[in-house]
Amino acid sequence: MRKEGINSSKVDWVTVGLFALLALAGWLNVYASVYDEEVYQSLFDFSTRAGKQLMWIGTSGILIILIMVMDFRFFDSFSYGIYGGVVLLLILVLIFGQEVAGTRAWFALGPVKLQPSEFGKFATSLAVAKFLSDPGVKLKDFRNQATVAFIIGLPALLVLLQGDAGSTTVYVAMILVLYREGLNPTIIIIGVIVLTFLILTLIFDQLHLTIGILGVAGLIIYRMRKSWKKIFVVITSAFLLIGEVYGIDFLMKDVFRPHQRNRIQLLVNPNVDPLGVGWNVTQSKIAIGSGGFFGKGFLNGTQTKFNFVPEQDTDFIFCTIGEEHGWIGSFFLVGLFMALFLRIIHLAERQKSRFGRVYGYCVACILFYHFLVNIGMTIGLIPVMGIPLPFFSYGGSSLWSFTIFLFILVKLDAHRMQVLERI
Amino acid sequence: MIENRKYVIQFIFLFIGLIFLIKLFYIQVLDPSYKLAAENNVVRKEVEYPFRGLMYDRNNQVIVYNEPVYDLMVIPKEIRGIDTTAFCADFSITKEEFEEKIQKAKTYSYIRESPFIKQLSNAEFAKVQDLLVDYPGFYITTRTIRAYPYPMMSNAFGYIGEISRSQLEKDTLNYYKTGDYIGRSGLESQYENQLRGRRGVQYKMVNVRGVEKGSFEEGNYDTLSIPGDNLITSIDAQLQLYGEKLMKGKSGSIVAIEPSSGEILAMVSGPTYDPSLLSGRDLGKNYQVLSQDTLRPLFNRPLMAVYPPGSIWKTVQALIGMQEGVIVPSTRIRCDRSIIKCHGPHFNDNLAEAIQHSCNPYFYEVMRRIVDQNVSADPYEDPKIGLKKWREYVESFGFGKPLGIDLPNEKGGYIPGVPYYDRVYGARGWKYRTIYSLSIGQGEILAGPLQMANLGAIIANEGYYYTPHLVKSIGKDGKPLPKYHQKNFTKIQSQYFSPVKDAMESVTEWGGTGFRAGIKGIPVCGKTGTVQNPHGKDHSVFLAFAPKDNPKIAISVYVENSGWGSEAGAAIAGLMIEKYLRGADAQLRYEDFVLEEQYIR
């Protein structure tokens, strides 16, 4: 039996509901963040950002219907094709794209601006899912590891070339997917250690860190002196870490551009230049912090209303929640996202095919990464990167791409029982 | 089991969510600093400056008031599409100046307003008011500066200027802020606390560009400004103006006091300057010029200059002599010019004649009798006892220390005492013969013009004075200043004054040394003085009060380098007295004589 189109009983309405709630809340907060009480603005005025966001939500609805009526096998079968197409777009944008604020990431199609890097996420996810769905592929195999790295690395590199370092880092989230699919966690642990030392280098003097590393290494060697092999590993990694410590100093001083360097330094010292580099984070924390427990109430936020927070309807949309709805509002928002992420993992785990499961994890991990970085930067836990909050931030490209991203999973999930029929 | 890794991933997700909620709880609920910072962001404190109190003269004429001035302000961010050439033409500045000013404003702040052209005149303001629509980013703000209907009394008024760093540090109550205006000298400084009023504060909500978005908390924290109190001064503006006219081209001072109250009627310092020079746009530049002027116009001579008083001092000596009982009015003393030189044809004067002729040997002898009273057999000890007693008398006249006028920087002059001569000549190194110059108001004695005028008031009052002051009352209620309503008694009993008064009257009569101060129909009491000046021509001094009975005005005139006191000093004193007592009916006989005299080289 073959069945196409939407079968409403099989659609996971929990996910759809969470999506709808987030998009609706996002729309209201975009309205609040651009609200000016001196000028009457309707929620539905299409000349305002709130009105436009409603339009993006509407068009996303059309995209959802399109995805739902398509053959679910299309994504499986054409995953490499879609991937290839998006990679091509990413190359083309480098050549023909419009340069906006130092990044060449936009296609201007008449009045509509399109950002292909937004679509790189689901294309890459499809390709990775497709590759891993081959029963012969084992992630323990170095060649397979290399292939996966290439699939992920190619669009990441192209996005980096556009000058959008923030969006490039999104691909790091794929590590978690690979971990779920059997990648040796050592790699991840090494990654975490390297990252930890990156931050430590920013805070502490290099010499002190070196002494610290040697001390800890000595202690470890002393406790397991029997095994020469382990001693060798410890000594090697100690020297690698010392290398990192000095390497990062070199990176910070000679490789990173000043604005990147400042954003990283801002993490360890939030009071660096509050009127310059620190302005965004300082103002965003002030806006959120001034919300208190219950918030100032819808449309009553002074910080956002009087434009103290920059980009408050896109990357810093969370400030509006924090200020107007307080900790309670933040709690609900974080809760909504947590529910969505766990639901997506639940969907991924119940897929009958490895393709569906890998894709599901890709959705969960990439959405989570956006959540992590976006909210993390508004409260000063993560360096400022231009990354939107999924379904929430103003913007057509990002809303469309997240909608497509999520609803391909919903579509796959709705047909998960049919996968077996095919085999 | 790889299956279990889903729990690890779920754990990571939940863990991050939890960290975010904890961090959010910290900044939103626990840490109050963000709420404060948010208020600082959106709430702008707007200070409403009160009107500074005005000053009136004794006849309720305004003598110091506030005049609005208009500053052209600029917000660099809002400038767009400006025709620079037209702008420069409208505001009469060069293109280079324009660029420089814009750059300066941008350096200060791109989004906040800063002054572009300070203090446009009324005419300029009227001209550019309508043009401003064409120049977005430029605004006019209004503030006030001090203005003066009569160009007079600059040193007594003082001036206001931006508060200095050291004044700010001394302001323990934290009333002032950088850039505030404060009285820098004169009455402006003395009565700063009364004149300044109280600032009002308004809290306004602003957006990130500083654009106003209404009042904060419905204006519950706003306060209104309270204008400063007006000063009713004791100055007679017409008399003051006349005095300044007379002092033109002369260096010195005129101080006129109402004896019955201690109120200062006029206080002229010459040379002087127009007070409006130190008000407004060119304060700094003008101050520079004035402070480098070799004639020292900023030096307030009535209070700050001290001179030997000269022969007017003989009145004091006469009073002390009588009080001590060493002379009586009829005491005659031979004019022995071998002791000390004298002038005029007289040989054996009594007290009145000695004052009238200003006989030096007479007062040499009077002082000798005061100092050497044979209380001690020791020829070096005896003058010490006498001089000490003499000094106590002199100090009771208000000499040797500041009188306490309501103006800053009053000098006290100097009355030498026993310790001074002991130091200079040794404890056993001096006798009366050493210090005799004191007897005729020369030598080490130094007194200021204010103290000399006060001496006139003391003689007029027959024995007491009110502390001279410039302010009669403050504010609407006319609060009295108690310390200016106390009689300060000298150590001379009142009966000794009438012989001195009689003698002083004869000074201004025809044939007296001070005949130029005489006024037909008004009995004027006066005393001339000529002070030897080692640096040049003698100083001319005149001390007077009138009318003799029920005196209305006591006056001292000190004209530097003008020669005999009978000339400039007496004439000016007479003119001032007549002007004050007769007003418009004054005949002013010697006016031309005075105006012709110019002593400033």
Same domain, A126 and A234: no
A291 CB neighbours in chain B (<8 A) are: 28
Cα A193–chain centre separation: 21
Looking at per-residue pLDDT, the higher value among B232 and B594 belongs to B232
pLDDT tens-digit series, residues A287-341:
888 888 988 888 877 777 777 777 777 888 999 999 999 999 999 999 999 999 9
Asked whether residue A3 is assigned to any structural domain, the reply reads: no
Q: Percent of chain A beyond pLDDT 90?
A: 32
Residue with tokens 């002054």: B115
| pLDDT attached to residue B374 | 86
CA distance A148 to A190: 19
Q: Report CA dihedral (A79, A80, A81, A87) to the nearest 10 degrees.
A: 110
| pLDDT attached to residue A197 | 78
Cβ distance of A286 and B31 shorter than 8 Å: no
From A255, A280, A295, the end of a domain falls on A255
Same domain, A71 and A131: yes
Asked whether residue A149 is assigned to any structural domain, the reply reads: yes
Q: Is residue A128 within 8 Å of residue A148, measured between CB atoms? A: yes
From B182, B215, B233, the end of a domain falls on B233
CA distance A43 to B24: 29
CATH code of residue B547: 3.40.710.10
pLDDT tens-digit series, residues A94-150:
888 777 766 777 777 766 777 888 889 989 999 999 999 888 888 888 888 899 999
CATH code of residue B157: 3.90.1310.10
Is pLDDT of B288 > 70? yes
The identity of residue B508, as a single letter, is T
Cβ distance of A375 and B20 shorter than 8 Å: yes
Count of domains for chain A: 2
Asked whether residue A34 is assigned to any structural domain, the reply reads: yes
CA distance A158 to A84: 13
From A199, A231, A255, the end of a domain falls on A255
The DSSP bridge pattern shows strands B55-56 and B62-74 to be antiparallel
Asked whether residue A1 is assigned to any structural domain, the reply reads: no
Q: Please give the structure tokens belonging to residue A209.
A: 């860190």
Q: Percent of chain B beyond pLDDT 90?
A: 44
Q: Is residue B269 within 8 Å of residue B298, measured between CB atoms? A: no
Is pLDDT of B355 > 70? yes
Asked whether residue A260 is assigned to any structural domain, the reply reads: no
* Burial zone of A422 (CB within 10 Å; 0-12 exposed, 13-18 middle, 19+ buried): exposed
Cβ distance of A308 and B24 shorter than 8 Å: no
Asked whether residue A261 is assigned to any structural domain, the reply reads: no
Spatial CB neighbours of B441, under 8 Å, sequence gap ≥ 6 = B308, B309, B310, B311, B312, B313, B314, B529, B531
pLDDT tens-digit series, residues B374-419:
888 888 899 999 999 999 999 999 999 999 999 999 999 999 999 9
Asked whether residue B139 is assigned to any structural domain, the reply reads: yes
Tell whether omega for the bond before B271 is within 30 degrees of 0, i.e. cis: yes
B205 CB neighbours in chain A (<8 A) are: 302, 306
| pLDDT attached to residue A357 | 93
Asked whether residue B43 is assigned to any structural domain, the reply reads: yes
Q: How many CB atoms lie within 10 A of CB A18?
A: 20
CA distance B24 to A381: 11
Q: Which whole-number Å values give the CA distances from B184 to A277, B187, B189, B292, B409, in the listed order?
A: 43, 9, 5, 18, 12
Cβ distance of A292 and B33 shorter than 8 Å: no
Looking at per-residue pLDDT, the higher value among A216 and B81 belongs to A216
* Burial zone of B199 (CB within 10 Å; 0-12 exposed, 13-18 middle, 19+ buried): middle
CA distance A245 to chain B (A): 27
Asked whether residue B31 is assigned to any structural domain, the reply reads: no
Same domain, A291 and A216: no
Same domain, B380 and B410: yes
Count of domains for chain B: 3
Same domain, B190 and B315: no
Helices (H) and strands (E) in chain B, counts: 22, 20
Same domain, A324 and A239: no
Nearest residue of chain B to residue A341 (CA atoms): B13
- Strand residues in A273-334 grouped as ranges (E): none
Cβ distance of A331 and B31 shorter than 8 Å: no
Q: Please give the structure tokens belonging to residue B313.
A: 């001092």
Computed over every residue of chain B, the mean pLDDT equals 87
Same domain, A139 and A175: yes
Q: Is residue B159 within 8 Å of residue B278, measured between CB atoms? A: yes
pLDDT tens-digit series, residues B166-190:
888 887 777 787 767 889 899 999 9
Q: What is the band of B490 on the pLDDT scale with cuts at 50, 70, 90?
A: very high
| pLDDT attached to residue A276 | 59
Same domain, B424 and B487: yes
Tell whether omega for the bond before B361 is within 30 degrees of 0, i.e. cis: no
Is pLDDT of B217 > 90? no
CA distance A349 to chain B (A): 8
Average pLDDT over residues B53-81: 86
| pLDDT attached to residue A1 | 40
Q: Is residue A317 within 8 Å of residue A30, measured between CB atoms? A: yes
The identity of residue B417, as a single letter, is G
Q: Please give the structure tokens belonging to residue A121.
A: 């996420």
Same domain, B385 and B509: yes
| pLDDT attached to residue A150 | 93
Same domain, B267 and B181: no
Residue with tokens 């005061």: B370
Cβ distance of B29 and A327 shorter than 8 Å: yes
Element of type H or E holding B527:
strand B525-531
Average pLDDT over residues A219-238: 80
| pLDDT attached to residue A273 | 57
Q: How many CB atoms lie within 10 A of CB B129?
A: 12
Cα A87–chain centre separation: 19
Of B376, B362, B375, B370, nearest to B390 (Cα)? B370
Q: What is the band of A372 on the pLDDT scale with cuts at 50, 70, 90?
A: very high
Phi, psi for B446 (deg, rounded to 5): -130, 135
| pLDDT attached to residue B600 | 63
Cβ distance of B20 and A288 shorter than 8 Å: no
Beta sheet of A103-109, edge-to-edge order: A98-100, A103-109, A112-114
pLDDT tens-digit series, residues A336-355:
999 999 999 999 999 988 99
Same domain, B312 and B182: no
From B183, B209, B233, the end of a domain falls on B233
CA distance B504 to B155: 31
Phi, psi for B257 (deg, rounded to 5): -125, 145
CA distance A245 to A210: 8
Same domain, A229 and A173: no
Q: Is residue A29 within 8 Å of residue A392, measured between CB atoms? A: yes
Is pLDDT of A208 > 50? yes
Asked whether residue B288 is assigned to any structural domain, the reply reads: no
| pLDDT attached to residue B47 | 72
Residue with tokens 């504060």: B201
Probe site for chain B from A188, A300, A306 (most B CB atoms < 10 A): A306
Is pLDDT of A64 > 90? yes
CA distance B342 to A36: 93
B207 CB neighbours in chain A (<8 A) are: 305-308
Cβ distance of B12 and A376 shorter than 8 Å: no
pLDDT tens-digit series, residues B295-311:
889 999 999 999 999 89
B27 CB neighbours in chain A (<8 A) are: 285, 288-289, 379
Q: Please give the structure tokens belonging to residue A138.
A: 């084992």
B29 CB neighbours in chain A (<8 A) are: 292-293, 327
Q: What is the band of B16 on the pLDDT scale with cuts at 50, 70, 90?
A: very high
Q: Report CA dihedral (A375, A380, A382, A385) to the nearest 10 degrees.
A: 70
Element of type H or E holding B219:
none
Q: Which positions in chain A have a beta carbon within 8 angstroms of at least one beta carbon in chain B? A: 38, 176, 179-182, 283, 285-293, 302-303, 305-308, 322, 326-327, 330-331, 334-335, 337-338, 341-342, 345, 349, 361, 364-365, 368, 371-372, 375-376, 379, 381
Strand-pairing partners, residue B258, are B263
Is pLDDT of B74 > 50? yes
From B204, B233, B262, the end of a domain falls on B233
A361 CB neighbours in chain B (<8 A) are: 9
Same domain, B170 and B318: no
Asked whether residue B278 is assigned to any structural domain, the reply reads: no
A376 CB neighbours in chain B (<8 A) are: 20
Same domain, B464 and B497: yes
CB pairs < 8 Å spanning A and B: 113
| pLDDT attached to residue B564 | 64
The identity of residue B34, as a single letter, is Y
Probe site for chain B from A303, A347, A374 (most B CB atoms < 10 A): A303
Cβ distance of B9 and A364 shorter than 8 Å: yes
Cβ distance of B16 and A372 shorter than 8 Å: yes
Same domain, A151 and A206: no
* Burial zone of A137 (CB within 10 Å; 0-12 exposed, 13-18 middle, 19+ buried): middle
- Strand residues in B96-163 grouped as ranges (E): 114-120, 138-147, 160-162
Q: Which positions in chain B have a beta carbon within 8 angstroms of at least one beta carbon in chain A? A: 2, 5-6, 8-10, 12-14, 16-17, 19-21, 23-25, 27-29, 31, 33-35, 37-39, 41-42, 205-209, 213
> Residue A235 belongs to what domain range?
188-255
Same domain, A68 and A200: no
Is pLDDT of B494 > 60? yes
| pLDDT attached to residue A236 | 86
Same domain, B158 and B127: no
B31 CB neighbours in chain A (<8 A) are: 289
pLDDT tens-digit series, residues A12-44:
999 999 999 999 999 998 888 877 766 666 777
Beta sheet of B553-559, edge-to-edge order: B263-270, B252-258, B553-559, B539-546, B525-531
Spatial CB neighbours of A99, under 8 Å, sequence gap ≥ 6 = none
Asked whether residue B121 is assigned to any structural domain, the reply reads: yes
B14 CB neighbours in chain A (<8 A) are: 338, 342
Residue with tokens 């500041």: B402
Q: Please give the structure tokens belonging to residue A378.
A: 């508004």
Same domain, B325 and B364: yes
Same domain, B334 and B480: yes
Same domain, A378 and A301: yes
Q: Is A347 strand, coil or helix?
A: helix
| pLDDT attached to residue A390 | 93
Probe site for chain A from B1, B4, B9 (most A CB atoms < 10 A): B9
CA distance A146 to A178: 12
| pLDDT attached to residue A250 | 77
Render the burial of B332-362: b for 16+ CB within 10 Å, e for the rest: ebebeeeebebeeebeebbbbbbbbbbbbbb
Of A182, A290, A307, the CB nearest to B35: A290
A182 CB neighbours in chain B (<8 A) are: 2
Q: Which whole-number Å values give the CA distances from A306 to A299, A321, B17, B20, B110, in the listed order?
A: 11, 15, 29, 26, 18
Cβ distance of A302 and B42 shorter than 8 Å: yes
Average pLDDT over residues B485-490: 92
Cβ distance of A338 and B9 shorter than 8 Å: no
B216 CB neighbours in chain A (<8 A) are: none
Asked whether residue B6 is assigned to any structural domain, the reply reads: no
Q: What is the band of A47 on the pLDDT scale with cuts at 50, 70, 90?
A: confident
Same domain, A98 and A244: no
Which of A37-41, A165-169, B125-129, B222-226 bottoms out in mean pLDDT, i.e. has the lowest? A37-41
Of B447, B456, B445, B436, nearest to B547 (Cα)? B456
Cβ distance of A285 and B28 shorter than 8 Å: no
Greatest alpha-carbon pair distance for chain A in Å reads 77
Same domain, B486 and B509: yes
Is pLDDT of B279 > 80? yes
Q: Which whole-number Å values give the CA distances from B71 to B82, B199, B564, in the listed order?
A: 19, 20, 52
Q: Which whole-number Å values give the CA distances from A147 to A137, B36, B405, B560, in the listed order?
A: 10, 54, 97, 106
Average pLDDT over residues A197-210: 77
Same domain, A291 and A206: no
CA distance A295 to B199: 35
Cβ distance of A307 and B9 shorter than 8 Å: no
Element of type H or E holding B524:
none
Q: Is residue B311 within 8 Å of residue B441, measured between CB atoms? A: yes
- A13-33 and A396-414 helices cross at what angle (nearest 10)? 170
CA distance A281 to A380: 6
Q: Please give the structure tokens belonging to residue A77.
A: 């079968």
| pLDDT attached to residue A2 | 46
Asked whether residue B19 is assigned to any structural domain, the reply reads: no
B20 CB neighbours in chain A (<8 A) are: 330, 334, 375-376, 379, 381
| pLDDT attached to residue A3 | 47
> Residue B139 belongs to what domain range?
68-74+85-144
CA distance B103 to chain A (A): 20
Of A309, A30, A276, nearest to B38 (Cα)? A309
Q: How many CB atoms lie within 10 A of CB B155?
A: 25
Asked whether residue A101 is assigned to any structural domain, the reply reads: yes
Could you please report the per-residue DSSP string of B334-396? E--TTTS---SS-SEE-HHHHHHHT-HHHHHHHHHHHH---SSSSTTTHHHHHHHHHHHHHHH
Same domain, A413 and A316: yes
Residue with tokens 């470890």: A220
CA distance B17 to chain A (A): 6
B203 CB neighbours in chain A (<8 A) are: none
Is pLDDT of B121 > 80? no
Classify residue B303 by its DSSP letter: H
Q: Is residue A82 within 8 Å of residue A147, measured between CB atoms? A: no
Q: Which whole-number Å values give the CA distances from B298 to B228, B302, B413, in the listed order?
A: 26, 12, 19
| pLDDT attached to residue A131 | 93
B39 CB neighbours in chain A (<8 A) are: 290
| pLDDT attached to residue A298 | 84
